[in-house]
Structure 1
Amino acid sequence: MEIVDDIENCTPPEVQETAKLTTLNLLPQKSRKKYELSYKMFIDWCRTKKTNSFSENVLLAYFSELAEKYKSSSLWSQYSFLKSTLSIHNNINIETYPKLRAFLKRKSEAYQATKSKTFTPMEIDEFLSNAPDEMYLATKVALIMGIMGACRTSEIHAIKVNDIVDINKTMLVTIPVTKTKNVRKFTITGKFYNVVQKYINLRPPNVSTNSLFLNYQKGKCTCQNIGVNKISKMGKEIANYLKLPEAEKYTGHSFRRSSATILVDAGADITALKRHGGWKSTTVAEGYIDTSMKNKMDSANKIINAVQASSSSVGNTTENKEITNTNVDVKSLPFTIVNYGTVNVYVHNKT
């Protein structure tokens, strides 16, 4: 089974090679290997099944086997990889396979993604204020970058010193390379500024790298860069210091999720949230609003207040009706009923 199906046999070999290289460049540069590996796995599977077909039934059988060992999120990733590679290499559009998409959606119904836990403002302040700088200064800077800019782990790792501009005790930080290809900017002020500036001032004079994050030990920076994997473990490091339960569920992505949650709890709307985190998808951004504890409490209070107001109104109406509709001779009562709007005052008669 050929990777490239040459329909026109008269095409010169050099043109074919140029076309092949051009089509390969259509895949994302950063994750091209994942796409090609997924395609190779599918082609190898087809060979073992002795089929040259890319029909919907073949794809259904393939994904049915994958579903036995992959989670729903991984199935959708494989679908995305194959959608691109089959289109490029074989001119097949699997988006036109409704039964395949229905199968993947059905697998997603019972699946619940595990999300990184978030830090509260109080927990963030406690760590920044009390954790010793001699051990945790680099971690503090990563936390500040992640919280103030809603940064992903890869974005924190990619920050360079020249991405930070100091303007009168305010740092303007630019994130030039993002997942959505949109440049984002954010500022750092106050005591957060002092923490970051302290870390920058510890950079060795002979350091050759422009990366912001340098290895930090015993109050000193070395010339070695901090790797992205180490940054991804800083969430757990903070959770362990704070003695939070399930520390393993705090990851590098906790910074971004915490930033979004704090912003929403402070009253930000969907537009401000999308701009802050660079989200293109409204659905993803709305997920943070849906899980906002402040929003849940506000909604609960509105419902409770409405019910109580309705209950009070019904109670007053019922009480008035009971007095009005009674068959008792009012003149025989030892008191006089005086009504002031919704309030009944009982005045004892003089004997």
Structure 2
Amino acid sequence: MDWRLKIGTNSFSEDTLLVYFKELTKKCKSSTLWSHYSMLKSTLNLKHNMNIESYAKVRALLKRQSEGYQPKKSKAFTGDEIYKFITEAPDTKYLATKVALIMGVMGACRSNELYEMKTKDLQFFEGCINVSVPITKTKVPRNFTVTGDFYNIVKKYSELRPSDVSSSFFLNFQNGKCTKQVIGINKFGRMGKEIAEFLKLPDPVKYTGHCLRRSSATLYADGGANMTALKRHGGWKSASVAEGYIADSKKNKMDAANKILHQINPNSISISNANSCPSTYADGVSNFTIDNFAITNKTSDVNINTTKTPPTIHFNNCHNLTINFINK
């Protein structure tokens, strides 16, 4: 509105907004331009009954400015890094951070969702905790479950909370005790950096408050989650964000490479894993038999007929792999 007064116009026409956004391109990056556009679209529609979504020239300008733009994204933790922090960081100092990490990764939670988490949102059962996330950015409530060793950690923290405090679940934790002070949203935003510094990872400042949610989506995609499951897990309405995680999945890329390799050379079988999960081979099957070689895991057996000369087998980053040599 100030800009309109400055240039002496009362118009909200497409040409007027085109000039306005052309000036903004000189000082704003692509993501900021789209933020301005989104705010203007909502405000002008509400206060002036103007629908600028139909302004094709303006949208075309913004799309041109987006070409080649690479947004900065928070780094994500690997499964090994999460496990190392959970097992090696002392509880006397990092227990609250561990619980936030568990909630963030298991439920793909944002910093504000952790901040808004209440004690009533957690239901404790024998061996598991059901957690509700009623307040979300996309207005889509979510639920997730905490089990295994994570269950014991969250339960330990819950039992240390004073009973005569507010309903907020996350309370400040110092010297092995919970205080009555609620953990603020900015502290949740710094926890990723705190974890990275403990693990001595490079560029800890790049582990922002969004790193827990990104870590969750990345691990789930690497575990083989499809589009529907990933959207439900993160509460995304749009498929574009979920598509990004699936497209960047190391497991999916490795599976594609192995399938291509298998078509070029059927006797060359690559058994790989991108994220410390049980081993798989070209077609994603853990158990198979090759002549006198029996490579087993926990899924159904698959027999592959080959020549009598054993094929070349490549193992990359495989864990918990059992190889049985059978003399037939």
**TM-score using structure 1 length:** 0.74
With over 3 angstroms needed to count, the CA separation of the structure-2 counterparts of 1:54 and 1:201, relative to structure 1, is same
- Name the amino acid aligned to 1:162: K
Does 1:293 pair with 2:250? yes
2:154 to 185, 191, 196: 196
- Name the amino acid aligned to 2:214: R
1:148 to 90, 106, 109: 106
Partner of 2:13: 55
Q: How far is the alpha carbon of 1:205 from its aligned partner?
A: 3.3
Aligned counterparts of 1:303 and 1:79: Cα–Cα separation in 2: 43
1:211 to 140, 164, 168: 168
Does 1:130 pair with 2:88? yes
Partner of 1:102: 60
Aligned counterparts of 1:142 and 1:71: Cα–Cα separation in 2: 33
2:240 to 258, 275, 283: 283
Q: How far is the alpha carbon of 1:308 from its aligned partner?
A: 2.2
- Name the amino acid aligned to 1:147: V
RMSD: 1.7
Does 1:272 pair with 2:234? no
Aligned counterparts of 1:95 and 1:273: Cα–Cα separation in 2: 29
Does 1:254 pair with 2:211? yes
2:259 to 299, 302, 306: 302
Query: Which runs of structure 2 are paired with 1:234-245 in the superposition (5 Å)?
Result: 234-245=191-202
Aligned counterparts of 1:199 and 1:67: Cα–Cα separation in 2: 49
Q: How far is the alpha carbon of 1:310 from its aligned partner?
A: 11
Aligned counterparts of 1:251 and 1:166: Cα–Cα separation in 2: 30
Q: How far is the alpha carbon of 1:56 from its aligned partner?
A: 1.1
Partner of 1:336: none
Aligned counterparts of 1:46 and 1:274: Cα–Cα separation in 2: 41
**TM-score using structure 2 length:** 0.80
Partner of 1:72: 30
Kindly indicate which of the two structures has a greater share of residues assigned to helix: 1
Is the radius of gyration larger for structure 1 or structure 2?
A: 1
Which blocks of at least 5 consecutive residues in structure 1 are unaligned? 1-42, 312-341, 344-351
Aligned counterparts of 1:182 and 1:242: Cα–Cα separation in 2: 34
Q: How far is the alpha carbon of 1:276 from its aligned partner?
A: 1.0
Kindly indicate which of the two structures has a greater share of residues assigned to strand: 2
Identity of aligned residues (%): 60
Partner of 2:77: 119
* Count of aligned positions: 270
